[in-house]
Structure 1
Amino acid sequence: MLPADHFALFDLPQQFALDARALDDAYRAVQAHVHPDRFAAAGEAQKRVAMQWASQTNDAYQTLRQPLKRAIYLLHLRGVEVQAENNTAMEPAFLMQQMEWRERIEDAAASRNVGELDALGRELRDDARVRFEKLASLLDSRSDQAAAEAVRQLMFIERVTDEVGTQIERLDQ
């Protein structure tokens, strides 16, 4: 039977701050026990269970390895759903920032200014880094609703960063 949550699966504390090396080591240790190749000579039922364990282990690892997914999962464990699709209300300053970023992307793409897109990409990554630090503090202090808002903002920044990358690729062709 699988542990109750991804953190327990890897014997890690249920918190946002995570030792990446400890996660990697724990993942390899669990995979060594549940990898389907170890059950090649087993019966069909055992093979199926091993495949499910391996799949769930991979999913847990991917969730905990990525900070945004880890934050969403941690909030879920606390009973707080981010609801990014349904809850688009954000603080006015962030909404204004969104519009500015979008305009900069449009202007830079229209003028084929890859340098401006690169600069915006760096700015977005710096902004995300600061917001992740704030998110960690919010999660540590169990300010879960504010953390959910921070997650929604980071999800938007991730999409805009991807859009910047797409525009750069398009212009580089």
Structure 2
Amino acid sequence: MQNHFELFHLPQQFAVDLGALDRAYHDVQNQVHPDRFANASDAEKRVAMQWATRANEAYKTLKSPFKRAAYLCELNGVDLEVESNTAMPVAFLMQQMEWREALDDARAGKDPHALDALDRSLRSERKDALAAIAMQLDSQDFTQAASLVRQLMFLEKFSEEVANAQDALM
């Protein structure tokens, strides 16, 4: 079975041409669109639906930098161990505590400016993490990349918490 990159005829690397991904996705979707199988057998319709579902999943994975990085690690035999490996660098753990305190203070003070500042800080950290992940993936250090992807997972989840807090203030 071909992997997501092969499905869309893209090089297996972290940097993805999003325009090429979009075009390839639409090409696959056009080939397996239900309208093309209106007069087909039930088995052919089922296979087309499976391909459409697979294309959707592959597209979502490759479109998201976070999911793409995790997928590349897994393709190269490195399990992210998200359930069992919670080890993080001490500096990152300290930063997490500071962010949590900032979020708690902003919520308690109903301070939209503090939430905006926290959001900007997280965006910057996420950008830096993605750059570091790209560097590790490009140098084929999938174990280190996996560690950084676990940190990015925290950033993604915590950014959602901040966004929810911002929404709650509005």
Provide TM-score, normalisation by structure 2. Answer: 0.98
Residue equivalent to 2:25: 27
Deviation per CA, 1:63-113, whole angstroms, max 9, x where unpaired?
A: 000000001111111011111121100000000000000000001100111
Distance across 1 between alignment mates of 2:35 and 2:116: 44
User: Separation in 1 of the partners of 2:17 and 2:158?
Assistant: 28
Which of 31-40 and 105-114 deviates more?
31-40
Q: Match for residue 67 of structure 1?
A: 65
State the partner residue of 1:17: 15
- Matches of 1:83 and 1:117, distance apart in 2: 31
AA aligned to 1:168 is Q
For 1:37 and 1:65, how far apart are their aligned partners in 2? Answer: 26
**2 CA distance for matches of 1:110 and 1:27?**
45
For 1:99, the equivalent position in structure 2 comes to: 97
Query: Does 1:81 find its partner at 2:91?
Result: no
Aligned to 2:155: 157
Distance of 2:57 and 2:106 partners within structure 1: 38
Give the AA of the match of 2:54: Q
Percentage of matched positions with identical amino acids: 54
Structure 2 counterpart SS, 1:129: helix
How far has the Cα of 1:170 moved from its partner?
A: 1.1
Report the Cα distance in structure 1 between the residues aligned to 2:46 and 2:81, rounded to whole angstroms: 33
How big is the alpha-carbon RMSD for the aligned residues of Structure 1 and Structure 2?
0.8
1:171 offset after TM fit, Å?
A: 1.5
- Count of residue pairs brought into register by the alignment: 170
> C-alpha offsets along residues 117-141 of structure 1, whole Å, 9 cap, x if unaligned?
0110011001100110110000000
Distance 1:35 1:43 in 2: 14
Distance 2:52 2:74 in 1: 22
Looking at structure 1, the residues matched to 34 and 72 of structure 2 have their Cα atoms a distance apart, in angstroms, of 28
| Alignment partner of 1:46 is 2:44 | yes
Q: Match for 2:46: what amino acid? A: R
Q: Which runs of 4+ in 1 moved over 3 A?
A: none
Does structure 1 residue 56 correspond to structure 2 residue 54?
yes
* Cα deviation, residue 37, structure 1: 1.8
CA distance in structure 1 between the partners assigned to 2:138 and 2:73 by the alignment? 11
Structure 2 portions without partners, runs of 5+: none
CA distance in 2, matches of 1:122, 1:116: 10
Q: What is the TM-score of this pair, normalised by structure 1?
A: 0.96
In structure 1, C-alpha distance between the alignment counterparts of 2:114 and 2:149, rounded to whole Å:
26
